[in-house]
Amino acid sequence: MPVVTLPDGSQRSFAQPVTVAEVATSIGAGLARAAIAGRVDDRLVDTSFVIEGDARLAIVTEKDPAALDIIRHSTAHLLAQAVQSLFPDAQVTIGPVIEDGFYYDFAYKRPFTTEDLAAIEAKMREIAKADLRVQRRLMPRDEAVQFFKNLGEHYKAEIIAAIPANEPISLYGQGDWVDLCRGPHVPSTGKLRAFKLMKVAGAYWRGDSRNEMLQRIYGTAWLNDKDLNDYLHRLEEAEKRDHRRIGRELNLFHMQEEAPGAVFWHPKGWSVFQGLIAYMREKQNAAGYQEVNAPELMDATLWQQSGHLEKFGENMFTTRTPDERLYAIKPMNCPGHVQIFKQGLRSYRELPLRFGEFGKVHRYEPSGALHGLMRVRAFTQDDAHIFVTEDMITEETVRGIRLLLDIYKDFGFDQVQVKFSDRPPKRVGEDAIWDKAESALIAATQAAGVEYTLNKGEGAFYGPKLEFVLKDAIGRDWQCGTWQVDLNMPGRLGAHYVDEHSQKRTPVMLHRAIFGSLERFFGILLEHHAGKLPTWLAPVQVVLMGITDRQNEYLINVAEFLRNQGLRIETDLRNEKVGFKIREHTLQRVPYLLVAGDKEVAANLLSVRTRSGKDLGTMSRETFVERLAIELESRGRRTLED
């Protein structure tokens, strides 16, 4: 008689083994209809799973965080069934869940077209409407290999053949269609209502360019039509905000094949880039950081000693000199900062010692992964390394967290999620050291009053870390800042300080980045603000223009005055209609447009407009500067419109 314990602590007894679906029915018809899966003793299972002994059970409905992945995984199967229904010669390979959706790879004799996608999606809706029951069965491995070979599914047979012989294989069927899968899946295809196919792309079998090319169909799936429509709207907004398009429109930067993954900065873009550095330099100086700079090219033995060459070597650019000495272009700054720390005898009285660098690093990213400013091979980090004693970890981390959150607010990011990443499977250092580092970091976050979620196994190879995830204007998440506790690398590289008892001690090194990659943060800013950068950061803050050429001399004098106040100014003295000029500079997202006609010149005034089209009336140049200074000082939290 199995006894099932429910989440509220209540128990139900059954005279014989019982399925998850039957337990749900015994609780209520509404719950039975809403059931998507079950969680038996913390293991996700199908509603058809049989409970044979005492167990804890939670019924998974749409309210459960696990529901969406189950829906998406099941929709991937729905896609595969639809494809093979329409194109019987197509072979299926793999179809995993990804962020915001799923994909499935197919081997077929010709490329799928846009018309094919429409037909496939229509067939998916037909199968979903049929509400086919989804059934699971187990099969011995060798039998499963032969089963799929008989179906002509050679890719599936190859996948199964790589599974250990003693491991049973689970198959899922819906109607007369069957696929290899671990599950769990929805009880029936009728649960799949809100989905859309997005695009088709090429993909190599097993991700290896030496293998045959397959066709990957991407789709998205959600719990309901509202969530789906909201997602599609976010995609439309994201397309409008694409930083690559904005970069072209505003003449900020470009990229080209001769330098894959590297940026050609144009004057306006470089102005913003340098503005980011100047801002961070000011913040770091006030927080007690000392700016340093380490070489970009260093002997590979240093990277071997630090552990980077072994763990990260395939992503490093290396070069061998004529005398056969191997050098590496730095993929990160930490070993260089340790070398600076090691120069001279360090005392505990110098700690915490905070080094910051705007260091250019290079990492090899596959060409298919490159994406504008968001994924590059050459980028600049606002990297810092803080050398402390173990007793200082908590206080220094609290200071660091507050600095990060304060900086993000200045850029318009008020929603910041913190993730704690613990030890990864491949790492350096003993478990006892990792225990100490993880405990210290958790204690520090608690002291800072920060809530965090666990990012299991995603720490750096040398230590645990905090990740700071920003939510942008259209609800997307961007991981930017990191804070890492490292009890390994300083010792590996021979860093020491002398304590109060004149004993040599190995410092703890705290790795810190706030922007992360300046290039990527620039791209995030462009998309978050839709190109309308806050006035304090905009490459051009003010454009002056006249109605006729009679105002030119007046505008030139005003421009000189404004430049002397430290503002970034352009004058538009072209013989064009003022409406044309206003529209052009509005499209360039210039924050303020100052217009003068004969009346304004006579009164020594300027007509002030914003890029949003609001007319702020007329004011003197002195009044404009005074009001704008308040906006710049507040980093845009107060504007002239206020």
Catalytic residues: 334, 363, 381, 383, 385, 465, 511
User: CB-based burial of residue 275 (10 Å sphere; 0-12 exposed, 13-18 middle, 19+ buried)?
Assistant: middle
Three-state secondary structure call for residue 315: helix
Token pair of 163, please?
């599974």
Residues 6+ apart with CB under 8 A from 22: 14
Residues 6+ apart with CB under 8 A from 7: 58
DSSP summary character for residue 549:
G
Token pair of 335, please?
């070993």
Three-state secondary structure call for residue 431: helix
Residue 381 neighbours by CB distance under 10 Å: 20
Residue 609 neighbours by CB distance under 10 Å: 20
Residues 66 and 39: beta-carbon distance below 8 Å: yes
Q: CA 2 to CA 16: how far, in whole Å?
A: 7
| Alpha helices by DSSP H, 39-164 | 67-86, 114-129, 141-150, 154-161
Q: CA 156 to CA 95: how far, in whole Å?
A: 11
Which helix (H) or strand (E) is 635 found in, with range? none
Q: CA 99 to CA 103: how far, in whole Å?
A: 10
Dihedral sign from CA coordinates of 397, 401, 404, 410 = negative
Q: CA 418 to CA 514: how far, in whole Å?
A: 13
Q: Provide, for the chain, the percentages of residues in helix, strand and coil under a 3-state DSSP scheme, each rounded to the nearest 5.
A: 40, 30, 35
Q: CA 432 to CA 487: how far, in whole Å?
A: 11
First-to-last alpha carbon distance for the chain, in angstroms, is: 70
